[in-house]
Structure 1
Amino acid sequence: MSKTTAQKKGLLERLKEGPVVGDGSMCMTLEKRGYCRAGQWTPEAVLEYPDAVKQLLREYLRAGADVLQTPCYASSDGRLKRANITYTTAELNEAACEMAHEIAQEGNALVCGGLTPVMSYSKGEDETIVRGEFESQLAGFIKRRDIIDFILAEFFGYIGELEICVDVMKKAKMPIACTMRIGPLGDLNGVSVEECAVRMAKTGADLIGINCLFDFDTCLKTLKRMRDALDKEGLKTPLMCQPLGWRCPETTNTKKGYLLLPEFPFALESRQVSRFEVHKFAREAYNLGARYIGGCCGMEPHHIRAIAQEVIKTF
Structure 2
Amino acid sequence: MAAAGVPGDRKGILERLDSGEVVIGDGSFLITLEKRGYVKAGRWTPEAVVEHPNAVRQLHMEFLRAGSNVMQTFTFSASEDNMESKWEDVNAAACDLAREVAGKGDALVAGGISQTSVYKHHKDEATIKKIFRLQLEVFARKNVDFVIAEYFEHAEEAVWAVEVLKEAGKPVAATMCIGPEGDMHDVPPGECAVKLVKAGASIVGVNCRFGPSTSLRTMKLMKEGLQAAGLKAHLIVQSLGFHTPDCGKGGFLDLPEYPFALEPRVATRWDIQKYAREAYNLGIRYIGGCCGFEPYHIRAIAEELAPERGFLPPASEKHGSWGSGLDMHTKPWIRARARREHWENLLPASGRPFCPSLSKPDA
Per the normalisation by structure 2, the TM-score is 0.81
Using the TM superposition, give the Cα deviation of residue 7 of structure 1 relative to its aligned residue in structure 2, in angstroms.
Answer: 2.6
Using the TM superposition, give the Cα deviation of residue 256 of structure 1 relative to its aligned residue in structure 2, in angstroms.
Answer: 1.2
The 5-angstrom pairing of residues 49-88 of structure 1 reads: 49-81=52-84, 86-87=85-86
- Which residue number in structure 1 is paired with residue 258 of structure 2? 264
Counterpart amino acid of residue 118 in structure 2: S
SS where residue 258 of structure 1 aligns? helix
Instruction: Give 1:204's match in structure 2, choosing from 186, 200, 204.
Output: 200
Distance (whole Å) between structure 2 residues aligned to residue 312 and residue 294 of structure 1: 15
Counterpart amino acid of residue 162 in structure 1: A
- Which residue number in structure 2 is paired with residue 214 of structure 1? 210
Using the TM superposition, give the Cα deviation of residue 6 of structure 1 relative to its aligned residue in structure 2, in angstroms.
Answer: 4.9
Counterpart amino acid of residue 278 in structure 1: I
Instruction: Give 2:17's match in structure 1, choosing from 15, 18, 23.
Output: 15
Using the TM superposition, give the Cα deviation of residue 108 of structure 1 relative to its aligned residue in structure 2, in angstroms.
Answer: 1.4
Alignment root-mean-square deviation, CA: 1.3
- Which residue number in structure 2 is paired with residue 168 of structure 1? 164
Using the TM superposition, give the Cα deviation of residue 21 of structure 1 relative to its aligned residue in structure 2, in angstroms.
Answer: 0.2
Counterpart contact for 1:90–1:139, Cα < 8 Å: no
Counterpart contact for 2:166–2:200, Cα < 8 Å: no
Instruction: Give 1:194's match in structure 2, choosing from 181, 190, 198.
Output: 190
Instruction: Give 1:101's match in structure 2, choosing from 89, 99, 106.
Output: 99
Distance (whole Å) between structure 2 residues aligned to residue 194 and residue 309 of structure 1: 30
Counterpart contact for 2:162–2:201, Cα < 8 Å: yes
Residue correspondences, number = 302
* Percent identical: 48
- Which residue number in structure 1 is paired with residue 359 of structure 2? none
The 5-angstrom pairing of residues 68-147 of structure 1 reads: 68-81=71-84, 86-87=85-86, 89-145=87-143
Q: Deviations over 1:144-170 (max 9, x none)?
A: 11xx11000000011110111111111
Farther-moved stretch of structure 1 (238-247 vs 116-125) = 116-125
- Which residue number in structure 1 is paired with residue 358 of structure 2? none
Which is greater in Rg?
A: 2
Q: Deviations over 1:83-141 (max 9, x none)?
A: xxx51x21111100100000111111101100111122221242211111011111100
- Which residue number in structure 2 is paired with residue 46 of structure 1? 49
Farther-moved stretch of structure 1 (261-270 vs 150-159) = 261-270
Unaligned runs of 5+ in 1: none
Using the TM superposition, give the Cα deviation of residue 192 of structure 1 relative to its aligned residue in structure 2, in angstroms.
Answer: 1.1
Distance (whole Å) between structure 1 residues aligned to residue 171 and residue 25 of structure 2: 15
- Which residue number in structure 2 is paired with residue 281 of structure 1? 275
Using the TM superposition, give the Cα deviation of residue 312 of structure 1 relative to its aligned residue in structure 2, in angstroms.
Answer: 3.8
Dislocated runs of 4+, deviation >6 Å: none
SS where residue 271 of structure 2 aligns? helix
Distance (whole Å) between structure 2 residues aligned to residue 126 and residue 235 of structure 1: 29
Distance 1:266 1:143, change over 3 A: same
Distance (whole Å) between structure 2 residues aligned to residue 234 and residue 180 of structure 1: 21
Distance 1:40 1:132, change over 3 A: same
Distance (whole Å) between structure 2 residues aligned to residue 234 and residue 125 of structure 1: 30
SS where residue 232 of structure 2 aligns? coil
Distance (whole Å) between structure 2 residues aligned to residue 167 and residue 293 of structure 1: 24
Per the normalisation by structure 1, the TM-score is 0.93
Counterpart contact for 2:70–2:107, Cα < 8 Å: yes
Unaligned runs of 5+ in 2: 1-6, 310-363
Instruction: Give 2:241's match in structure 1, choosing from 239, 245, 249.
Output: 245
Counterpart amino acid of residue 58 in structure 1: M
Using the TM superposition, give the Cα deviation of residue 66 of structure 1 relative to its aligned residue in structure 2, in angstroms.
Answer: 0.5
Using the TM superposition, give the Cα deviation of residue 261 of structure 1 relative to its aligned residue in structure 2, in angstroms.
Answer: 1.3
